[in-house]
Structure 1
Amino acid sequence: MVPRGKRDIAQEITDIIIARIEAGVAPWKRPWRTFAGGRPRRALGQAYTGINSLLLWAIADCQGFNSQYWMTRKQAHELGGTVRRGEPSSPSIYFNTFSRAGQPTLTGESSPVTIRFMRSYSVFNCDQIDGLPAHYYPQPMAHQQAEPSQRQAAIDAFFSPIPIEIRHGGNRAFYSPGGDYVQMPPKANFLTSDHHATTLGHEMAHATGAAHRLAREFGRRFGDKAYAFEELVADITAGIVCSELGLPPELHDNHASYISGWLAILKGDKTAIITAAAKAEQAYRWLCGWSDPDGTAAGGRVPVAVVVEAG
Structure 2
Amino acid sequence: MSTQNEIRQRVTDQIVAALESGKTLPWRRPWSDPQHAGLPANIASRQPYRGTNPLALTLVSMSNGWPERWWGTFNQWKELGCSVLPRPSHVRPGQWGTKVVYCKPVERTRQTDDGEREERFWILKEFTVFHVRQVEGAAAERLLARNGPAERFVDYGPAERVMQEAKVPIHYGGSRAAYNPTHDYITLPPRPSFPSAADFYGTAFHELAHATGHPTRLNRLEKNSRFGNFSYAFEELVAEVAGAFVCSELGVPDTGDLTNTTAYLSNWLAVLKGDPHAVFRACSQATAAADYLLARPAMAGRNAEPALAA
TM-score, normalised to structure 1, is 0.81
1:220 to 1:171, Cα distance in 2 relative to 1, 3 A:
closer
Shift of 1:189: 1.6
Greater relative contact order: 1 or 2 (C-alpha under 8 angstroms, separation 6 or more)?
Answer: 2
* Greater displacement, 160-169 / 27-36: 27-36
Shift of 1:243: 0.9
Shift of 1:234: 0.9
Shift of 1:71: 0.9
CA distance in 1, matches of 2:275, 2:196: 37
Q: Which amino acid aligns with 1:224?
A: N
CA distance in 2, matches of 1:218, 1:91: 33
Q: Could you give the per-residue CA deviations for residues 182-237 of structure 1, whole angstroms, max 9, x where no partner exists?
A: 01111222223442222111111111111221111468999921111111111111
Specify which structure has the higher proportion of helix.
Answer: 1
Contact 2:31 2:67 in 1 (8 A): no
Is 1:171 matched up with 2:178? Answer: no
- Residue 27 of structure 1 corresponds to 26
Is 1:269 matched up with 2:275? Answer: yes
- Residue 46 of structure 1 corresponds to 47
- Residue 138 of structure 1 corresponds to 145
SS in 1 for 2:268: helix
Q: Could you give the per-residue CA deviations for residues 105-125 of structure 1, whole angstroms, max 9, x where no partner exists?
A: 26xx43343332211111111
CA distance in 2, matches of 1:66, 1:112: 45
1:137 to 1:268, Cα distance in 2 relative to 1, 3 A:
same
Contact 2:85 2:134 in 1 (8 A): yes
Query: Where does 1:237-252 land on structure 2 (aligned, <5 Å)?
Result: 237-250=242-255
- Residue 301 of structure 1 corresponds to none
Show structure 1 runs of 5+ residues with no match: 292-311
1:81 to 1:257, Cα distance in 2 relative to 1, 3 A:
same
Aligned length: 283
CA distance in 2, matches of 1:290, 1:263: 31
> Which of the residues 113, 118, 121 maps onto 2:119?
113
- Residue 83 of structure 1 corresponds to 84
- Residue 208 of structure 2 corresponds to 204
CA distance in 2, matches of 1:220, 1:185: 26
* Greater displacement, 260-269 / 41-50: 41-50
SS in 1 for 2:3: coil
- Residue 61 of structure 2 corresponds to 60
Larger Rg: 1
> Which of the residues 2, 6, 24 maps onto 2:3?
6
CA distance in 2, matches of 1:130, 1:288: 34
CA distance in 2, matches of 1:179, 1:11: 38
CA distance in 2, matches of 1:280, 1:171: 26
1:216 to 1:125, Cα distance in 2 relative to 1, 3 A:
same
CA distance in 2, matches of 1:197, 1:114: 38
Shift of 1:78: 1.8
- Residue 37 of structure 1 corresponds to 37
Q: Could you give the per-residue CA deviations for residues 107-155 of structure 1, whole angstroms, max 9, x where no partner exists?
A: xx4334333221111111121112251223333x4224324xx212222
Contact 1:54 1:277 in 2 (8 A): no
CA distance in 2, matches of 1:221, 1:111: 35
Q: Which amino acid aligns with 1:92?
A: V
* Greater displacement, 8-17 / 25-34: 25-34
1:165 to 1:52, Cα distance in 2 relative to 1, 3 A:
same
1:172 to 1:6, Cα distance in 2 relative to 1, 3 A:
closer
Is 1:161 matched up with 2:165? Answer: yes
1:15 to 1:290, Cα distance in 2 relative to 1, 3 A:
closer
CA distance in 1, matches of 2:260, 2:87: 43
> Which of the residues 120, 124, 133 maps onto 1:127?
133
1:104 to 1:244, Cα distance in 2 relative to 1, 3 A:
closer
- Residue 302 of structure 1 corresponds to none
- Residue 279 of structure 1 corresponds to 285
1:220 to 1:184, Cα distance in 2 relative to 1, 3 A:
closer
Shift of 1:40: 0.9
- Residue 289 of structure 1 corresponds to 295
Q: Could you give the per-residue CA deviations for residues 32-74 of structure 1, whole angstroms, max 9, x where no partner exists?
A: 6599431111113222122111221112112333432111111
CA distance in 2, matches of 1:41, 1:111: 38
